[in-house]
């Protein structure tokens, strides 16, 4: 009997609690699975009153029973625990050590009181085993027992209502009704004599106990009847915890999962001889057990495969359905907690549940934040892409930013609903604010880039529109350079500012920023002109020399000037220098504002030689150029200081004197080249002194022929030797060149004349041999005439060549002649 009862000694005779045995027992009976659907039944009574025998027959346990043949002695030591076999719901049975035993002695009642208090604290039903013959007796053995039970009840703060089932053993012929009436009267008397706290002075016995009475025959004398009535009594323990069942008040019951902790703590308090506060004990048990369950669920959540996979996926990137998946994992463990702590105190269970949820949320919060980070990055990328597309389509910047911001935030809010967790009231306000900040920062960055690009574009256009035109104006011979520069500067600046203003409309800038950008562009345009002017001023000497050369070397029709000797070099030089000085005056200061100055007058009066400017306004006693500033010109507008102008002019004059000297030399050379005839007085003298010789030539024609031939030869030699060209290089060099070439040139001329004569003579002989008639035929006469005419024509040709000067062929032939070599 009782093979499945798993009887275990819970507390030994020395009051030591068997924790390991209890844990094994609870695992064997699987009590944690029953929740609140279990009952605890204990039995107390005098030693050797048959308590163990009754429990074994009533619940199918196998507690050790007394051997009657060995005499009455202590059989059960301490407190034993077992499971009732075949009874629903699960019933835990406690067999307590008997009272009034000789083994502990008359004075050692501590364990009896402690065990009785322990039984009342944890049991739903307490069986009080008593002898029938003790009912109604003043000094019966059951009176100290009842008094001890009532006194123990008073040590329980706010005790629950417990069922006291009095089992009358060895019933006599006295009817049960009379026995029950007497027993109840005795119980009431004992209750009235027990000390009670002030709060329970008037509290009736029924507030603490449900008193039930039953009687059983003697086991030794009427065993079969005993077993039959015990079987009937056993039926009362089925469904004992149901409404109307044998169990009493179930309000203080501890959930099965906390049973071990509960009874351990109760026994600890009882051993320390402290009053047992059952409500506080219930809270304590609920606290400990709920905390254990919460920690276990949190540990399982930490190691959950689904959660680990979800966490890893979130670290890698955005996860679709994150909130739904995480809620599913959390719901599973929170539901398990709710199920396992269902029967514990609501306040404790709720508090620990909140703590579990808080810890679980703390565990998953980094993943949640990571998901929000992914959403923020995704929304920010969407903003960047949309903004780029809208700007490429030509829409205004500010409108594009507003449109893209609204779309990105809407996308973030929409996707956040997929990330939100129902167990937490987390919101994305901070991440959303960060997203807005990032969007604003990116928009500001893009706006800065676009404004910078736009500014650079217009600055480039202004540079292109101003630099080369300004340079060309300085290169030109304009009368008023600065008037043209101002006109160009204002025109291009106004056009650029107008277009720039239209381009900035889409940015919706505040007025101060807009005005600043307009001013910056205008200042840039001015700076372009100023920088170009200063750059050109660095080359002012080159510009002055070019301008001087242009005016000096070209006439008023811009044709290259030929120095014939009739030009007034001094006047032309002064005009060219005046133009160069005017250019220097133009470059000396910046005149973008309509303000006049006296720079040109000062330079002209101080630097020009001669009376070019007659009305001098500056005193001769003071040098106006001995300064670093110009009168009426701001220092920042000064490009070339007066001292620098003076130095530049000095260098300019030195470097242009060579051009003037060359012009004067060209005129002198041309005059010498054109004066071959002697002076008129020499011609008159020659005519008077040579009159006789001239008349002699007229009287003798042979002299004329000889002179003519000499004249022809001298002309040929003149052009052959290029005497005029040789003497242009100097008299000495000309004489040396002519002396080395004179004889070869004369021989070359004679050789050509002889060659022409031989050629005509051979031609005449060949024509005579071919004629059949004598030499006096008309044809011979014609040949002779032809020969004479050919000789005459050859002489004429030689003269013609001598008049025309030496040709390139004749010069080449003379150079190749062996005589020349």
Q: How many CB atoms lie within 10 A of CB 649?
A: 21
Q: Would you say 140 and 184 are in contact if contact means Cβ atoms under 8 Å apart?
A: no
First vs last C-alpha separation in the chain: 161
360 or 562: which leads in pLDDT: 360
Of the listed ranges 101-115, 303-317, 491-505, 789-803, the one predicted with least confidence:
789-803
CA distance linking residue 818 with residue 821, whole number of Å: 5
Average pLDDT estimate for 386-395: 90
CA distance linking residue 371 with residue 360, whole number of Å: 17
Q: Return phi, psi of residue 708, to 5°.
A: -65, -45
Write the CA distances from 208 to 68, 187, 274, integer angstroms.
37, 13, 20
Each residue of 60-82: b (16+ CB within 10 Å) or e?
Answer: bbbbebbeeeeeeeebbbbbbbb
Q: Return phi, psi of residue 626, to 5°.
A: -85, 60
- Given a cut of 50, whether residue 71 has pLDDT beyond it is no
pLDDT for res 795:
39
Q: Which helix (H) or strand (E) holds 79?
A: strand 79-83
Mean model confidence pLDDT for the chain: 80
pLDDT for res 612:
41
Average pLDDT estimate for 59-82: 73
Write the CA distances from 3 to 27, 52, 86, integer angstroms.
16, 16, 11
Of the listed ranges 525-534, 727-736, 806-815, the one predicted with least confidence:
806-815
560 is in an annotated binding site: no
pLDDT for res 408:
94
pLDDT band for position 768 (50/70/90)?
low
pLDDT for res 427:
86
pLDDT for res 80:
92
CA distance linking residue 604 with residue 550, whole number of Å: 20
Q: Which helix (H) or strand (E) holds 167?
A: strand 162-169
pLDDT band for position 74 (50/70/90)?
low
Average pLDDT estimate for 556-573: 82
Q: Provide the token pair at 807.
A: 């040709």
C-alpha dihedral, 393 to 397 to 401 to 402, nearest 10°: -100
> Is the bond into 288 cis (omega within 30 degrees of 0)?
no
773 is in an annotated binding site: no
pLDDT band for position 587 (50/70/90)?
confident
C-alpha dihedral, 85 to 86 to 88 to 92, nearest 10°: 0
The string of pLDDT tens digits covering residues 39-49 is 999 998 887 77
Of the listed ranges 286-290, 400-404, 454-458, the one predicted with least confidence:
286-290
305 is in an annotated binding site: no
pLDDT for res 458:
92
Q: Which of 723, 699, 703, 722 is nearest to 711 (CA)?
A: 703
The helix/strand/coil state of 214 is strand
- Given a cut of 90, whether residue 405 has pLDDT beyond it is yes
Report angle CA 306, 308, 312 to the nearest 5 degrees: 120
644 is in an annotated binding site: no
The helix/strand/coil state of 82 is strand
Q: Provide the token pair at 263.
A: 């009874």
The string of pLDDT tens digits covering residues 47-69 is 777 888 899 999 999 888 765 55
255 is in an annotated binding site: no
pLDDT for res 477:
58
CA distance linking residue 400 with residue 450, whole number of Å: 13
Q: Provide the token pair at 731.
A: 């008299």
669 or 782: which leads in pLDDT: 669
pLDDT for res 619:
43
48 is in an annotated binding site: yes
The string of pLDDT tens digits covering residues 746-755 is 788 778 778 8
Q: Between helices 691-699 and 680-689, what is the axis angle to 10°?
A: 60
Q: Would you say 487 and 466 are in contact if contact means Cβ atoms under 8 Å apart?
A: no
Average pLDDT estimate for 213-230: 90
198 is in an annotated binding site: no
Q: Residue 8 forms beta bridges with which residues?
A: 81
pLDDT for res 609:
58
Q: Residue 216 forms beta bridges with which residues?
A: 169
pLDDT for res 401:
93
Percent of the chain at pLDDT > 90 equals 29
52 is in an annotated binding site: yes
Question: Cα–chain-centroid distance for residue 408?
Answer: 17
211 or 71: which leads in pLDDT: 211
Q: Which helix (H) or strand (E) holds 43?
A: strand 38-44
Q: Provide the token pair at 90.
A: 């699960």
The helix/strand/coil state of 81 is strand
- Given a cut of 70, whether residue 816 has pLDDT beyond it is no
Sheet with 90-96: list strands edge to edge.
Answer: 8-11, 79-83, 90-96, 38-44, 125-131, 162-169, 209-216
The string of pLDDT tens digits covering residues 650-708 is 999 898 888 888 888 887 777 766 655 566 787 788 878 877 777 777 777 787 788 78
Q: Which of 752, 676, 675 is nearest to 720 (CA)?
A: 752
Question: Cα–chain-centroid distance for residue 625?
Answer: 60
pLDDT band for position 191 (50/70/90)?
confident
pLDDT band for position 175 (50/70/90)?
confident
pTM: 0.57
Of the listed ranges 131-140, 456-465, 497-506, the one predicted with least confidence:
131-140
CA distance linking residue 455 with residue 412, whole number of Å: 35
- Given a cut of 60, whether residue 784 has pLDDT beyond it is no
pLDDT for res 798:
34
pLDDT for res 451:
92
pLDDT for res 793:
39
Q: How many CB atoms lie within 10 A of CB 354?
A: 11
E strands of 241-367, at which residues?
A: 276-277
Percent of the chain at pLDDT > 70 equals 83
Of the listed ranges 299-313, 335-349, 789-803, the one predicted with least confidence:
789-803
Q: Provide the token pair at 227.
A: 């077993």
| Sequence-separated (6 or more) residues with CB below 8 Å from residue 24 | 8
Q: Are strands 276-277 and 90-96 parallel, antiparallel or unpaired?
A: unpaired
Q: Provide the token pair at 358.
A: 């808080």
């Amino acid at each position: 009997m009782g093979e499945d009862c798993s009887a275990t000694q819970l507390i030994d005779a020395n009051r030591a609690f068997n924790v390991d045995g209890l844990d094994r027992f609870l695992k064997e009976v699987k009590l944690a699975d029953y929740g609140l659907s279990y009952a605890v039944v204990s039995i107390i009574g005098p030693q050797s009153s048959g308590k163990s025998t009754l429990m074994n027959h009533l619940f199918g346990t196998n507690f050790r029973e007394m051997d009657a043949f060995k005499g009455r002695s202590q059989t059960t030591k301490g407190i034993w625990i077992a499971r009732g076999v075949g009874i629903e719901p699960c019933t835990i049975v406690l067999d307590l050590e008997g009272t009034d035993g000789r083994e502990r002695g008359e004075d050692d009642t501590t364990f009896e009181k402690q065990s009785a208090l322990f039984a009342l604290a944890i049991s739903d039903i307490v069986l009080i085993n008593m002898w029938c013959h003790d009912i109604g007796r003043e000094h019966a053995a059951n009176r100290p027992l009842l008094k001890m039970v009532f006194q123990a009840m008073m040590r329980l703060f706010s005790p629950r209502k417990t069922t006291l089932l009095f089992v009358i053993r060895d019933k006599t012929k006295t009817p049960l009704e009379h026995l029950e009436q007497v027993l109840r009267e005795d119980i009431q008397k004992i209750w009235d004599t027990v000390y009670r706290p002030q709060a329970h002075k008037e509290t009736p016995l029924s507030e603490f106990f449900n008193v039930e009475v039953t009687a059983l025959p003697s086991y030794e004398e009427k065993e079969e009847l005993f077993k039959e009535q015990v079987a009937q009594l056993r039926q009362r323990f089925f469904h004992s915890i149901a409404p109307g069942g044998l169990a009493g008040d179930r309000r203080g019951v501890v959930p099965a999962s906390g049973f071990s902790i509960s009874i351990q703590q109760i026994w600890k308090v009882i051993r320390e001889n402290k009053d047992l506060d059952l409500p506080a004990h219930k809270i304590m048990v609920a606290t400990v057990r709920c905390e254990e369950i919460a920690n276990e669920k949190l540990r399982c959540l930490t190691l959950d495969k689904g959660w680990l996979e979800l966490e890893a996926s979130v670290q890698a990137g955005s996860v679709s359905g994150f909130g739904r998946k995480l809620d599913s994992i959390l719901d599973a463990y929170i539901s398990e907690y709710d199920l396992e702590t269902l029967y514990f105190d609501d306040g404790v269970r709720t508090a620990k549940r909140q703590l579990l949820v808080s810890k679980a949320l703390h565990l998953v919060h980094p993943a949640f934040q990571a998901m929000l980070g992914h959403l923020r990055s995704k929304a920010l990328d969407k903003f960047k892409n949309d903004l780029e597309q809208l700007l490429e389509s030509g829409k205004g910047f500010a409108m594009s930013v507003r449109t893209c911001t609204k779309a990105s935030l809407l996308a973030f809010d929409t996707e956040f609903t997929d990330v939100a967790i129902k167990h937490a009231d987390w919101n994305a306000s901070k991440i959303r604010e960060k997203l807005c900040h990032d969007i604003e920062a990116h928009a500001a960055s893009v706006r800065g880039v676009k404004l910078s690009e736009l500014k650079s574009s217009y600055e480039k256009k202004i540079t292109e529109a101003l630099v080369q035109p300004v340079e060309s104006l300085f290169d030109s011979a304009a009368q008023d350079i600065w008037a043209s520069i101002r006109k160009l500067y204002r025109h291009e600046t106004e056009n650029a500012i107008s277009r720039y203003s239209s381009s900035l409309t889409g940015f919706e800038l505040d007025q101060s920023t807009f005005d600043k950008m307009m001013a910056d562009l205008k200042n840039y345009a001015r700076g372009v002109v100023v920088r170009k002017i200063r750059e050109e001023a660095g080359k002012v000497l080159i510009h002055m020399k070019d301008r001087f050369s242009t005016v000096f070397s070209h006439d008023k029709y811009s044709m290259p000037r030929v120095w014939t000797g009739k030009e007034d070099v001094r006047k032309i030089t002064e005009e060219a220098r005046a133009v160069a000085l005017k250019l220097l005056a133009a470059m000396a200061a910046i005149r973008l504002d309509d303000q006049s100055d006296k720079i040109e007058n000062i330079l002209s009066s101080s630097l020009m030689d001669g009376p070019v400017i007659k009305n001098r306004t500056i005193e001769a006693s003071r040098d106006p150029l001995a300064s670093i500033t110009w009168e009426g010109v701001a220092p920042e507008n000064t490009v070339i200081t007066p001292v620098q102008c003076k130095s530049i002019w000095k260098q300019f004059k030195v470097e242009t004197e060579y051009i003037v000297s060359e012009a004067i030399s060209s005129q002198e050379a041309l005059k010498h080249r054109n004066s071959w005839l002697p002076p008129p007085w020499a011609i008159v003298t020659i005519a008077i002194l040579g009159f006789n010789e001239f008349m002699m030539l007229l009287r003798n024609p042979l002299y004329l022929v000889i002179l003519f031939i000499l004249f022809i030869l001298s002309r040929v030699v003149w052009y052959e030797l290029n005497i005029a060209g040789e003497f242009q290089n100097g008299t000495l060099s000309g004489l040396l060149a002519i002396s080395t070439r004179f004889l070869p040139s004369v021989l070359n001329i004679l050789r050509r004349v002889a060659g022409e004569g031989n050629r005509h003579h051979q031609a005449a002989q060949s024509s005579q041999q071919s004629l059949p008639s004598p030499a006096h035929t008309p044809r011979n006469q014609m040949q002779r005439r032809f020969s004479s005419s050919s000789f005459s024509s050859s002489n004429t040709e030689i003269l013609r060549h001598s008049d025309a000067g030496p040709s390139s062929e004749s010069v080449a032939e003379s150079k190749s002649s062996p005589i020349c070599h």
